[in-house]
């Protein structure tokens, strides 16, 4: 497995792959890899002939400097995992390599980012959009792989790809969960052992709400019950619990079987902010 640290090194590595007529799969990450990332790599390996992973904790997508400072960093372990998984190359740039200049461009994804993460983390999707655009320009993959756990990010990236005419297929990979349902996330590494039970409230509430909705329950009643469940824990703070159109991210107030709908949640468990979602009808 090649470890590439510069844009030029990635470009020449990828050019060689193209010369050899190999399709390139790309998995962008911020490191602290877990089984969810490895699932993205697995999909990439199944769907393309050469796989490149990037590891870059992108400062511009953190609206909270403390969250950025505390983001887990496990580079040696990450590289070992990727090597064992048969990845062809890993791009590990430093900040200067990605941001030689502070970007002046500002991306606004309109209604896609007025709710959920976009509303609670102002500027987050500008940072995601900028870095993903840069990485796609450097790697020029045929397919890029993103996790469904970041549902709104997927919608934003699909829009970015269309609006900038990137010649890449966006492949969405289902969320990987622990045995108890907790969605895998790099941030889980920061959960205190005592908080794990509380963190399970996210998936439990999503499953409950989906089952109730499909039984014909009213969304407002369901959400009120979920809010009550969250409020049992003094150090758990629910940020949002919303029913949305899965692609357009429009808030909905009830079941519409003809549309793809998802329930999305974000909550602080102690100091750790977690998100999750479940699809309702597709
Ligand atoms: O999902 C992530 O890990 C990040 O948002 C991404 C896509 C790697 C951009 O920094």
List pLDDT tens digits, range 19-47.
Answer: 999 999 999 999 999 999 999 999 999 99
Beta-strand runs (E) in 44-168:
50-55, 89-91, 143-147
Atom of ligand 1 nearest to the CA of 157: 7
Q: Is 277 in the pocket of ligand 1 (CB under 6 A)?
A: no
Catalogue the E-assigned strands of 10-57.
24-29, 50-55
Residue 30: CB within 6 Å of ligand 1? Answer: yes
Beta bridge partners of 183: 177
Per-residue pLDDT reduced to its tens digit, 86-123: 999 999 999 999 999 999 999 999 999 999 999 999 99
Beta bridge partners of residue 27, listed in sequence order: 53
Taking only the tens place, the pLDDT of each residue in 244-258 is: 999 999 999 999 999
150 close to ligand 1 (CB < 6 Angstrom) = yes
Determine the atom of ligand 1 nearest the C-alpha atom of 132. Answer: 9
Cβ neighbours of residue 74 under 8 Å, at least 6 residues apart? Answer: 31, 32, 33, 189
Q: Is the pLDDT of residue 282 over 80?
A: no
CA distance 118 to 245: 15
pLDDT digits over 195-247, tens only?
999 999 999 999 999 999 999 999 999 999 999 999 999 999 999 999 999 99
Is the minimum distance from the CB of 29 to ligand 1 under 6 angstroms? yes
User: What sign has the CA pseudo-torsion 84, 11, 72, 36?
Assistant: negative
Distance 139 CA to ligand 1 centre (A): 15
CB burial of 127-165 (b: ≥16 within 10 Å; e: otherwise) equals: bbbbbbbbbbebbbbbbbbbbbbbbbbbbbbebbbeeee
107 three-state secondary structure: coil
**pLDDT attached to residue 127:** 98
Nearest residue (by CA) to ligand 1, atom 3, is 29
8 contact partners, CB below 8 Å, separation of at least 6: none
Distance, CA of 64 to CA of 61 (rounded, Å)? 9
State yes or no: is 245 an active-site residue: no
pTM for this one?
A: 0.97
Nearest alpha carbon, ligand 1 atom 6: 29
Rounded to the nearest 10°, the torsion over CA 218, 220, 226, 227 is -170
Contact 65, 121 (CB under 8 A): no
- Asked whether the predicted pLDDT for residue 281 surpasses 90, the reply is no
Among the listed residues 108, 155, 115, the one whose alpha carbon sits nearest the alpha carbon of residue 130: 108
């Amino acid at each position: 497995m090649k470890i590439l640290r510069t844009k030029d090194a990635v470009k020449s590595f990828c050019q060689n792959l193209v010369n050899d007529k190999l399709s390139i799969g790309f998995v962008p990450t911020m490191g602290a890899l877990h089984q969810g990332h490895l699932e993205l790599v697995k999909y990439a390996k199944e769907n393309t002939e050469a796989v490149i992973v990037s590891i870059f904790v992108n400062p511009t997508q953190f609206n909270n400097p403390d969250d950025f400072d505390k983001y887990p960093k496990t580079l040696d372990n990450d590289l070992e995992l990727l090597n064992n998984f048969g990845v062809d190359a890993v791009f590990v740039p430093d900040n200067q390599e990605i941001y030689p200049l502070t970007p002046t461009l500002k991306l606004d994804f309109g209604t896609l980012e007025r709710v959920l993460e976009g509303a609670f983390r102002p500027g987050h999707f500008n940072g995601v959009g900028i870095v993903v655009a840069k990485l796609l320009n450097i790697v020029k993959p045929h397919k890029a792989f993103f996790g469904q756990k970041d549902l709104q990010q997927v919608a934003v990236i699909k829009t970015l790809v269309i609006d900038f005419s990137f010649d890449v297929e966006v492949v969405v990979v289902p969320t990987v969960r622990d045995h108890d349902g907790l969605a895998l996330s790099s941030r889980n590494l920061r959960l205190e052992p005592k908080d794990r039970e509380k963190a399970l409230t996210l998936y439990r509430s999503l499953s409950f709400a989906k089952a109730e909705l499909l039984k014909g329950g009213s969304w407002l009643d369901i959400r009120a019950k979920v809010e009550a469940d969250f409020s049992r824990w003094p150090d758990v703070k629910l940020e949002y619990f919303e029913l949305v159109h899965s692609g357009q991210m429009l808030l909905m107030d009830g079941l519409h079987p003809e549309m793809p709908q998802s329930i999305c949640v974000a909550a602080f468990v102690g100091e750790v902010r977690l998100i999750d979602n479940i699809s309702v009808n597709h």
